[in-house]
Amino acid sequence: MTLTSPAAFSDHPTAQASGLVDPFGRHVTYLRVSVTDRCDFRCVYCMSEHMSFLPRKDLLTLEELDRLCSAFVVKGVKKLRITGGEPLVRKNIISLFRSLSRHLETGRLEELTLTTNGSQLEKYAGDLKAAGVRRINVSIDTLDAQKFRTITRWGDLSIVLKGVEAATRAGIGVKINAVALKGVNEDEIDDLIRFAHGAGHDLTLIETMPLGDIEGDRTDQYLPLSVVRARLLDRWTLEDIPFRTGGPARYVRVKETGGRLGFITPMTHNFCESCNRVRVTCTGTLYMCLGQEDAADLRAPLRESPDNGLLFEAIDAAIARKPKGHDFIIDRRHQRPAVARHMSVTGG
């Protein structure tokens, strides 16, 4: 991959790394980048079975993704999460990790990480570790192989579990993410806690968000984590802890296992006040909020000039418009998704 030298970035007059600060005084230090909208699974809450994907020509090349991420790093982003779609199905994706790892070496970037469904992890765990990835999130909603197939439509739990083992062997910390689904895995939360904590992994529970059309009724899936948490208290001792990973999860320690349990509650608790994140899609569209439609095109300034001036200006202008927050609602009166784009487009 041809790389733009970090010096070429930081020397630019508009690149001064005083940081990205939005109108509400929040520092944007965390960028999530979706490198593909494609996936080898079709999770029921995320995609419809017959998704149409973007034409490949619309996607940013790996070189463009590197340039874009590097521009954000120069602007003060400290944590970079590569996501998708399924990031590990993008051809040559490891070369992007390798090239971005130079920012870890300079100390500008504190963390390079990834959210994955785990299907390709067995193959890539060693390469990811070599590129400086120290922690990853792996999505596992159930430990029942049949149910896993039903939720993901195309996934194989045993392959994902082998991937988690390979990552652990490679020395990568694994956090398990599970979306709480009414009537699907709500009876399995205890097992997920025992499994994750027993193997030394953190576990984070996520509420379903109304993103994109899924050929189904989201009121059937939505399970408030306030309900899950109240039920857990019958069997577990949950101790609030100040632990944070720079993301939206709030953590407790489960006294009986000693492990950490996170809750991501975009629906029941508005987590916007401390939002430090923005997201870029695989076509270079910057979304300042997961739950709002406003966006900025970064592909045009990227392609317009090899100099990064236009790109930096577009990033600054977008951050100046970052909204205060979102307001998701899932109920029978709100049948349309709150936001038309799927999570696999914006990057979860």
- Choosing from 208, 308, 344, 346, the residue that interacts with ligand SF4 (CB under 6 A) is 344
Residue in 9, 30, 41, 222 binding ligand SF4, rule: CB under 6 A:
41
Residue 239 DSSP SS3: strand
Q: What are phi and psi of 277, to 5 degrees?
A: -115, 150
Among 9, 30, 45, 148, binds ligand SAM (CB under 6 A): 45
Indicate whether 265 belongs to the interface with ligand SAM (CB under 6 A): no
Say whether residue 38 binds ligand SF4 (CB under 6 A).
no
Look at residue 204 and give its three-state secondary structure. Answer: strand
Determine if 99 is a binding residue for ligand SF4 (CB under 6 A).
Answer: no
CB closest to ligand SAM, residue no: 348
Q: How far is the CB of 332 from ligand SAM (least distance, A)?
A: 18
Helical (H) or strand (E) element with 254: strand 250-254
Residue 295: helix, strand or coil by DSSP? strand
Q: Measured from the CB atom, is 69 or 319 closer to ligand SAM?
A: 69
In this chain, which of 39, 60, 209, 211 binds ligand SF4, going by CB under 6 A?
39
Q: How many CB atoms lie within 10 A of CB 171?
A: 11
Buried b (16+ CB within 10 A) or exposed e, 298-321: bbebbeeeeebebbbebbeebbee
CA atoms within 13 A on the CB side of 82: 29
Residue 181 found at the interface with ligand SAM (CB under 6 A): no
Beta strands in 5-105, from DSSP E residues, in sequence order: 30-34, 79-83
Q: Which does 263 bind (CB under 5 to 8 A by kind): ligand SAM, ligand SF4, none?
A: none
Within 74-93, the residues that bind ligand SF4 by CB under 6 A are 84-86
CA distances from 132 to 115, 120, 136, 247 (A): 15, 18, 11, 19
Instruction: State the binding string over 284-303 for ligand SAM (x if CB under 6 A, else -).
Output: --------------------
Nearer to ligand SAM, 115 or 285 (CB): 115
Residues found near ligand SAM in the complex (CB under 6 A): 39, 45-46, 83-84, 86, 115-117, 139, 177, 179, 206, 208-209, 211, 343-344, 348
